[in-house]
Structure 1
């Protein structure tokens, strides 16, 4: 078992000097990449960065320039993980499959996490941090619940398998993090999906002012690295929501994104009509994913900021402004290439959209 399992949980921690070896699993992905950038930012010299290891199939771009060590491995092949945790103090597991293939979800998210935990045990790893998702709670609305107040009820193979991975991590004494919507450079789902909805269906549900828990990838990375660098006689595990403590008004995001991408102002329609149109023109968007963008889904995240002692950051407006040029560059060509599926509907009265 991980050595930390014998230690009681406490919020009393200290920060180590940051040179203990760390293994980042998924360092070539969106969140793992942000974690790796934060780690290398804190330790810019190649000698210091040599204590950072990245487990992935291919080397991360940052590895050659910074001295970060690449370790080849595949979560679906336990034999390839042999020795990857040798000499490692902390494992940061940020690799997940989020598609709809049930077998891949089971093999990568659940069995892969178990295999990684087994290797961590063999190597005497002291701390294990797993990046899960608030989607394990399933359909909302969710309004301000703290950890332990909601029973998980996942609705997808990805969330179901990640919940099972959580259970394995907690049993080993590790930390489970549950961010909700994450944005920033490298985001390929949250903001891009919302942009597609706004482009494909130039309407928005009337009388809805949803709020959501969001966090910039760089702030999530700061939390993860702070946890990796904490130590003390009572260092322990736990499950934490990770989000900006101020829920985001999604209508403000919609307006800002339309302005950024020069999309027309949306007409308001009944939410049932809007869901029907989105289902027609974006059949790949599940009911749960649609709800994430259109209804309240926010959580109390005060515990993680208390535990880490970090400032949550400047908030969504400033963080999004800093990466808006990247989003515009990524999204504008893609949106131009998509057919304007509902553009002709703009000329229809709102009462006619239900039959469209």
Structure 2
């Protein structure tokens, strides 16, 4: 089994690669991995071939794809201007899926996000038939990529599925993301600025549970189908309190806005593929806080690298 993972140097992509190399998925033991990313892939392993390249490069992809059994497309620009978001997320997805035609690759999963639905305004969890109503350039680029994926399946018969997940968390997530930003500020003894001390999402998914879901969809999902990967509902005030407790810092009082509700209906994933989350939020958050506490050099370097790149842009 040989699998190509785009965005393999990123948060979720790197965890997915680690799980493959640890033989965490039954039936995929011994799988060889092509770790594809524009950034350096730090993982060194006998079963990994690291390839630096742009997902928007059709010539490289057509040379690289033959010989692979499957592709998982994690590559995703988040902190960029609108032009770069469109180039990477939309055109990059199109270029990859176009290169898959005639490549011999049997199966593909395009990893997306619940952001494509826009802000939640109704009372019930969204099903996969919820209209796409993105309200940010990032969300719009992801929604467009999802539609490109659907058209590749419907028009050209590319055997693919799409996953859309709740907000993820876990070790090695970049410190500019919402939860690590608050967590690292607390570990540094500084207070997050203004509203940053009130985490917005009310549903959280551990990255390991996310990766297991992606593997299940890759292995047994229906072609042309979209699968939600939901998280555990957590009230924003409760999350803030847990972060302060785990970091041993003093919490300001925040008014609880009520019982959190699930944003995503993931019954399709649960009923068709048998997925259930394995990492409770309490355990996952404690493990995450411990990792950031033990690796200050990693997240300070990651922050400085991003700041330097932004200043140079």
The two structures have a TM-score, normalised by structure 1, of: 0.70
The aligned counterpart of 1:67 is: 47
The aligned counterpart of 1:320 is: 285
Count of residues in Structure 1 that have an aligned counterpart in Structure 2: 284
Tell me: CA distance 1:151–1:331, structure 2 relative to 1, closer, same or farther (3 Å): farther
Contact kept in structure 1, 2:128 and 2:227, CA below 8 Å:
no
The aligned counterpart of 1:239 is: 226
**Cα distance in 2 between the residues matched to 1:123 and 1:249:** 46
Deviations 1:296-329 (A, max 9, x none): 6722122212232133214211222222211334
SS, match of residue 243 in structure 2:
helix
Of the structure 1 ranges 136-145 and 215-224, higher mean CA displacement relative to structure 2 is found in 136-145
Deviation, 1:100, is 3.9
Tell me: CA distance 1:204–1:128, structure 2 relative to 1, closer, same or farther (3 Å): closer
| Aligned pairs for 1:157-168 within 5 A | 157-168=137-148
- Which structure 1 residue ranges, 5 or more long, are not aligned? 1-19, 272-294, 338-356
**Cα distance in 1 between the residues matched to 2:201 and 2:149:** 30
Contact kept in structure 1, 2:120 and 2:263, CA below 8 Å:
no
SS, match of residue 263 in structure 2:
strand
SS, match of residue 66 in structure 1:
coil
Contact kept in structure 2, 1:30 and 1:187, CA below 8 Å:
yes
Contact kept in structure 2, 1:210 and 1:249, CA below 8 Å:
no
Q: CA RMSD in A?
A: 3.3
The two structures have a TM-score, normalised by structure 2, of: 0.79
Among 209, 215, 239, the alignment partner of 2:205 is 215
**Cα distance in 1 between the residues matched to 2:181 and 2:210:** 20
Q: Using CA pairs below 8 Å that are at least 6 residues apart, which structure has the higher relative contact order?
A: 1
Tell me: CA distance 1:213–1:268, structure 2 relative to 1, closer, same or farther (3 Å): closer
Tell me: CA distance 1:217–1:66, structure 2 relative to 1, closer, same or farther (3 Å): farther
- Which structure 2 residue ranges, 5 or more long, are not aligned? 154-159, 304-313
Deviation, 1:209, is 11
Question: In the alignment, does 2:249 pair up with 1:263?
Answer: yes
SS, match of residue 110 in structure 2:
strand
Among 246, 253, 263, the alignment partner of 1:298 is 263
SS, match of residue 173 in structure 2:
coil
| Aligned pairs for 1:37-186 within 5 A | 37-42=18-23, 49=30, 51-62=32-43, 64-141=44-121, 143-173=123-153, 174-186=160-172
Deviation, 1:106, is 0.8
Among 33, 39, 46, the alignment partner of 2:14 is 33
Q: Rg larger in 1 or in 2?
A: 1
Deviations 1:120-143 (A, max 9, x none): 113032221111111111122454
Deviations 1:111-161 (A, max 9, x none): 011000011113032221111111111122454423245322112211111
